[in-house]
Amino acid sequence: MITKTISIISMLILTFFQSGAKNGSACSEEKLPQENTSDILISDTLKWSERLSESFIVRHPGSVTFDEYMTKNDWNYEQGVVLEALRQMYVKTDDDKYFNFIKENIDQFVTEEGKILKYNYDTFNLDNINTGRQLLFLYEKTKSEKYKIAADTLRKQLKYQPRTKEGGFWHKQIYPYQMWLDGIYMSGPFYAQYVTMFEEDKNYDDITFQIKTVYKHTLDEKTGLLYHAWNENKEQRWADPETGRSKHFWGRAIGWYVMAIVDVLDYLPQEDKNRNDIINILQNVCESLLNFRDSETGLWYQILDMPEREGNYLEASCATMFTYAFAKGANKGYLDKKFFKIAENSFESIIKTHVEVEKNGLINLLHTCRGAGLGGNPYRDGSYEYYISEDQRINDFKGYGPLIYSALELGK
C-alpha cells in the first residue's frame, strides 16, 4: 500500500514538473504541486534533516536522481550533491536505506568492469568529478573493485585536465583558460579524499594550489567577495579586459567555493604547509559574506551586492551553502563560534521564507536558481540581466542537498 501511494505521488509530482518545464518562464512565480491525498507520509515530529531526506527518497523511487524538470539521467554533479546528503545521513543515522539508495543509484551508472556510463572522459569537465566521492564511499564500504576502477578514471582526468599557464584547472575543455569557483567544489573534495585513500606520497599541493589560485584571481579587495570566474587570456566577452574577471558576485559560485574548503579540510593533514592559508581564506570570505546579508531575513541575494536592483531575489542555494560552511566551519574550529549562531539563524530563516510543507508532510524548497554559467552556446555574457533571467526551481538539488548538510551540522 505504501509503495503504491509513493508511486502515485511521484507520478503527480512528475506531471507537475513536466507542466512547469513547458509553461514556465524566466524568474516566474513558483507554484507548488497540489497532492490528491491527505495521507501523512513524512511526520513533522522528525528532524528537518530526516524530513528533507525522506521527502527526497519518496519523490525518487528506484534510487534515481533525476526527473524531466530538473536533471538529466546521466552522470552529473547534481546527482553527486544529493547523494552526498544521503551519505551524510547514513553516517549520522546508520540507516541502511540511505546506503542502499546511494549504491543502487551508482550501480545504474557503473558496470561490473568499472566503466562509468554516460560519462565522457574527453570533455575534461570538472563537473563530472563530484559524484566520484560516492565511488570512494562505496569502495570503503564494500571493497568492490569496480568502484575503485571508476574512481581511478576520474583521478586520471584530473591528472590530464587542461590547465592555465600557472597550473589552474580549466573548468572544461570547451572553456579554455578559464577557472570558475564552481570547479573547486566539483574537483577538490574528491581529489583530497582520493589522495588520502590511495596515494602513498599524500601530496595535497595541487589541491590547495587550485583553491589559492582561483582566490587570488577572483578576489575583489574592496568587498572581500569573489567574482564568479577568471579568464587567463582575457579573450571572453564576459571577462574584464584588464583583470580577466567576470562581472558579478554570484552567490552560489561563492557557495560552492566555501563548501569545497570545509570539505577539503576533512582530508588535509594538520601539518600540511598550506592548511593555515586555506583556513585564512575561508575566514576572510565568510566574514565578507556577513556584510551582504539581507537585514530583514539574514539571507543573501542572487547577486550579492545589488539587493535593491530590480529583479534581484533572495536565492535559496547560496543561503544553504553559506549556512553549511558557517556551521561546519564553526564546529571544526576554522571559524569563530559566532558563525554557528549565524548559521542557526539563517537556517531558521530559510525554513520560514523558502520552505513549504505539503499536507502529506513532503518538503518543498523554493527559489533556487536553475543554473548560471559563462560563455558557451547560446552565449552567457555574465551580465546582471543574465543572472536574474535564469529560471527559479522547486526542490533543485543544488539548494536541497546543502540544506540537508546544514541541518545535519546544526543538529536540526
The single-letter code of the amino acid at 53 is: S
Domain boundaries, the chain: 47-410
Predicted pLDDT of residue 66: 85
The single-letter code of the amino acid at 307 is: P
Strands (E), 234-334: none
Q: Are strands 392-393 and 368-369 parallel, antiparallel or unpaired?
A: antiparallel
Residue 128 CA to chain centroid, in angstroms? 13
Residues 358 and 31 sit within 8 Å (Cβ to Cβ): no
Catalytic annotation, residues: 182
Integer Rg of the chain from CA: 20
Alpha-carbon distances of 381 from 240, 250, 303, 374, 384, rounded to whole Å: 11, 13, 15, 6, 9
Model confidence pLDDT, tens digit, residues 282-337: 999 999 999 999 999 999 999 999 999 999 999 999 999 999 999 999 999 999 99
Reported as a pLDDT band with limits 50, 70 and 90, residue 23 is: very low
Predicted pLDDT of residue 12: 45
- Return the CATH class of domain 47-410: mainly alpha
Reported as a pLDDT band with limits 50, 70 and 90, residue 43 is: very high
- Averaged pLDDT, 50-72: 87
Reported as a pLDDT band with limits 50, 70 and 90, residue 14 is: very low
Question: What does 333-399 look like in DSSP terms, one character per residue?
Answer: TSS-THHHHHHHHHHHHHHHHHEEE-TTS-EEE--EE-----BTTTTB---HHHHHHSPEESS-HHH
- Averaged pLDDT, 21-32: 42
Residues 136 and 151 sit within 8 Å (Cβ to Cβ): yes
Retrieve residue 379's grid coordinates.
Answer: 552565449
**At residue 36, does pLDDT exceed 60?**
no
Burial 82-116 (b: 16+ CB within 10 A, else e): bbbbbbbbbebeeeeebbebbbebbeebbeeebeb
Model confidence pLDDT, tens digit, residues 239-256: 999 999 999 999 999 999
Long-range pairs for 268-276: beta carbons < 8 A, 24 or more residues apart = 268/192, 268/204, 268/207, 268/208, 269/202, 269/204, 272/204, 272/208, 274/204, 274/205, 274/208, 274/209, 274/212, 275/208
Residue 287: strand, helix, or coil: helix
**At residue 105, does pLDDT exceed 70?**
yes
Cell 514556465 -> residue: 24
What is the distance in angstroms between the CA of the first residue and the CA of the last residue of the chain? 30
Reported as a pLDDT band with limits 50, 70 and 90, residue 26 is: very low
The single-letter code of the amino acid at 404 is: I
Model confidence pLDDT, tens digit, residues 181-235: 999 999 999 999 999 999 999 999 999 999 999 999 999 999 999 999 999 999 9
What is the percentage of the chain residues whose pLDDT exceeds 70? 90
Reported as a pLDDT band with limits 50, 70 and 90, residue 68 is: low
Mean pLDDT across the chain = 92
Alpha-carbon distances of 234 from 164, 170, 173, 217, 218, rounded to whole Å: 12, 14, 17, 12, 13
Q: Which residues contact 407 (CB under 8 A, 6 or more apart)?
A: 47, 48, 49, 52, 347
What is the percentage of the chain residues whose pLDDT exceeds 90? 88
Predicted pLDDT of residue 69: 62
